[in-house]
Amino acid sequence: MSEITNLPDHVAIILDGNRRWARGKELQDEDGHRKGIETLVLIAKAAANFNIKYLTLFSFSKENWKRDPSEISNLMDLMESFESEYLDEIILNNIRVTVIGDIDTLAKPQKKIIKMVQERTYGNTGMQLIAAFNYSGRDEIIRAVKKIVNDAQLAKISTDMINNDLMGNYLDTANIPDPDLIIRTSGEMRLSNFLLWQCAYSEFIFTDTFWPDFTVDHFYDALEQYSQRERRYGRNTPNERV
């Protein structure tokens, strides 16, 4: 692989297609989710090697609780197995894990795992891996607005202070730059309530590849596509007619 000169600082990925991958191979849904975790670790290590600074992975949405209870149970079991099977590998690659989402409403076992994973990787100085768990973009914005209203009522801030920067400080991603590139696997072409505030100027790449089949080569191709794009943030390019 040749070196890519114009790398994004922050890549976000919507991990999609685990169940369809499994069913296409006449396997159980849980087999697809397990393979998906293997891919997650593979791509996290690759991103760290590519010197990506932030990698956000949409691992479980608030809407996913509507799925079959047996599937939810399997997903929670996989979450518990992450520590014993994969966390040492994450630590070995100097990756720091941060979890965003509505953590307060999770059950104690999930809170315990999240706390442990974040604590064990806290001292790592390499790439920051942000796991969006029990996450919803709209819910994140609503929670942020409630915090702003509360602080305004307590006279900690005034309404004149409310702007893009202040809003960003109340989001789950405070102190994390907005994603430069968002990738979605499995052929779906929508955001599915992911990073709605933060994606205002993100570049998007959609691939038909199911997440369990997503390889380092696929990731490299996405980075290469990004490197060839021109990000204008609403500005005109040189010599472009208004």
Q: What is the pLDDT of residue 81?
A: 83
Catalytic residue positions, numbered:
16, 64
Q: What is the pLDDT of residue 80?
A: 84
| Token reading at 179 | 């994603």
Q: What is the pLDDT of residue 236?
A: 63
d(CA 75, CA 149) in angstroms, rounded, equals 35
**CA-CA distances (angstroms) from residue 146 to 10, 153, 176, 220, 230?**
27, 11, 20, 40, 36
| Token reading at 129 | 């891996």
Query: Residue 231 forms beta bridges with which residues?
Result: none
Given a cut of 90, is residue 234 above it in pLDDT?
A: no
Q: What is the pLDDT of residue 238?
A: 55
Contact 36, 18 (CB under 8 A): yes
Sole residue written with tokens 């768990």: 133
Which residues have CB under 8 Å from 149's CB, separation 6+?
A: none
Quote the percentage of the chain above a pLDDT of 90. 83
29-77 residue pLDDT tens = 999 999 999 999 999 999 999 999 999 999 999 999 988 888 888 888 8
* pLDDT bracket for residue 141 (50, 70, 90): very high
d(CA 221, CA 226) in angstroms, rounded, equals 9
Is domain 10-136+179-226 annotated with CATH 3.30.300.30?
no
Sole residue written with tokens 């997903």: 75
198-212 residue pLDDT tens = 999 999 999 999 999
Q: What is the pLDDT of residue 2?
A: 75
Q: What is the pLDDT of residue 5?
A: 84
Given a cut of 80, is residue 237 above it in pLDDT?
A: no
Would you kindly state where each structural domain of the chain is located, as residue ranges?
A: 10-136+179-226
Q: What is the pLDDT of residue 242?
A: 47
| Token reading at 92 | 């070995």
**pTM for this one?**
0.93
180-199 residue pLDDT tens = 999 999 999 999 999 999 99
**CA-CA distances (angstroms) from residue 7 to 54, 96, 127, 163, 181?**
12, 20, 14, 29, 10
d(CA 16, CA 64) in angstroms, rounded, equals 12
Given a cut of 80, is residue 1 above it in pLDDT?
A: no
Given a cut of 60, is residue 112 above it in pLDDT?
A: yes
